[in-house]
Chain A
């Protein structure tokens, strides 16, 4: 009933217009930044290489994406760390 009411009054955040707007926002972030999936995946591989010099990370769970908020685009990387490497091995 509540669901029905919020639909009637157009206040439902899952209304199809909001879905459209959100999808559009996301697709435009990529369009405007001119970032291809290939570029993102090679960036991901490079990140893994660099970070692996310092810590052991969960490569499979690593996520890299472009995000937009308030007219700004941010590169968001979620990198689960398994454990730190010993400090005595200095990176190349």
Chain B
């Protein structure tokens, strides 16, 4: 079958784009640094003994602000795209989205709880306070997804259709919860909540990267091992079972990976929509639906796309910053409509 791109060409171009995105993300920002300085600062960060005037400033901006932000973008983009692939596989629908199992709305509920009642958590260890929001978002996402999964189970089997409906119902319920917190919130808290809901890579720091890195490693190593099982699942659950796939285990793994991955991404960077939908879809058009190619390609392309979106977010209104969720939605929604219209024609 004629694909738009041969796998080798695809991975070569994706890899180059990935490197380009990393370089641009390190080299561009509201502070204009000469490219040479970015390079020298980068080399210094790697331990090369380079000295020069103004390099400290460059090293600070590249090393302490842009690099953690770039890494955060790569990880969040990658895990969102991978989760998108997992959900589209689970629901056997190319238009499925990680939001379907309630992970995003659960995380939003957790975050709203933390933002609005933040100071009300008495007796919380001091060291945990800065991570309260992330922790609540993560647990909220995990909790709601676990509930959706639990509701979908009956007689030892998981009904994807029931999960879908349970996901819709719990999303509505979580939305009502967020609404309630919004009502209780004062003006300033409301703004924080609004901004959190739009996502941002702003203020990334190395300490906060570690938990996410761990989660992304788990997801990125686990899902590709199940690539062929995912292919078989697209035929249908019983077909996959007849091909020797432990379907129930697979479904549990997919839901778990998504909850873990999206939960961690949302905890680190807020709600960033459309990456999980657009990236796998786009790549499927380029290389076809085989998960053995789709998963690693999504890993690369998710990070790349998010870094480009972040460049727009931080450069467009500099020195102010646009929430990245706005940028991804501006890219994602028209693309979604394009698919809709194209699918109809």
A binds B: no
